[in-house]
């Protein structure tokens, strides 16, 4: 499963929820009739029929079949939204699903290993790689072209222009 977003709170009184999308084109999600939801740190994905979905501010608001009021929608708070890898469109060149980046080793231009990608953070301006080194040191690197020089998926490696002492 590829995690695409997260439900963060109910919206209104008719069973709608606010969704924080981790993808570039959340408006396209309205075309997906079945969504998969799960609690964090579980593999217990369940399918839910999508009743309605629309852009709202910087995210989405959605309504699922069987969730007719705010009390019912409250049960969805904090759930992750995912999709099986095979249902997602292929990525363009220099485009990646976050799930593909997690676990990759990150090295700089001097050949120093800075750590492995443990996660990504969406900041609005750009995504940020969250790295953790073998000694437990955490680094945050902007996922922008002047920092990320290459993503080599076949080698599970990302090359960056970033000093080890930064």
Dump pLDDT digits (tens) for 55-102: 988 789 999 999 999 999 999 999 999 888 887 777 888 888 888 899
**Residue ranges, CATH 2.30.30.240, the chain:** 98-160
Pairing of strands 80-83, 148-152: unpaired
Q: What pLDDT shows up at residue 52?
A: 93
Strands of 41-156 (E only): list them: 46-56, 59-64, 80-83, 105-108, 113-122, 127-132, 138-142, 148-152
CATH superfamily of 2-87: RimM (2.40.30.60)
Q: Is 145 left (phi over 0), alpha (psi -120 to 50) or beta?
A: alpha
* Residue among 9, 28, 35, 30 nearest 20 (CA): 9
CATH architecture of 98-160: Roll (2.30)
Q: What pLDDT shows up at residue 54?
A: 92
Dump pLDDT digits (tens) for 19-62: 988 776 777 777 888 899 999 888 899 999 999 999 988 789 99
**Residue ranges, CATH 2.40.30.60, the chain:** 2-87
Buried b (16+ CB within 10 A) or exposed e, 80-100: bbbbeeeeeeeeeeeebbbbb
């Amino acid at each position: 499963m590829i995690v695409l977003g997260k439900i963060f709170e109910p919206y209104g009184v008719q069973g709608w929820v606010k969704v924080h999308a981790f993808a570039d084109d959340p408006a396209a999600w309205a075309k997906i009739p079945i969504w998969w939801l799960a609690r964090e740190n579980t593999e217990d994905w369940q399918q839910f029929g999508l009743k309605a979905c629309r852009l709202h501010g910087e995210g989405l608001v959605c309504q699922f079949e069987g969730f007719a009021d705010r009390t019912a929608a409250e049960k969805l708070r904090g759930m992750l939204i995912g999709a099986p890898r095979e249902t997602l469109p292929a990525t363009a060149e220099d485009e990646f699903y976050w799930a593909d980046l997690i676990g990759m080793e990150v090295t700089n231009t001097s050949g120093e290993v800075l750590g492995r990608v443990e996660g990504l953070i969406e900041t609005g301006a750009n995504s940020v790689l969250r790295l953790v080194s073998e000694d437990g040191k955490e680094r945050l690197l902007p996922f922008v072209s002047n920092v990320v020089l290459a993503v080599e998926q076949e080698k599970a490696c990302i090359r960056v222009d970033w000093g080890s002492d930064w």
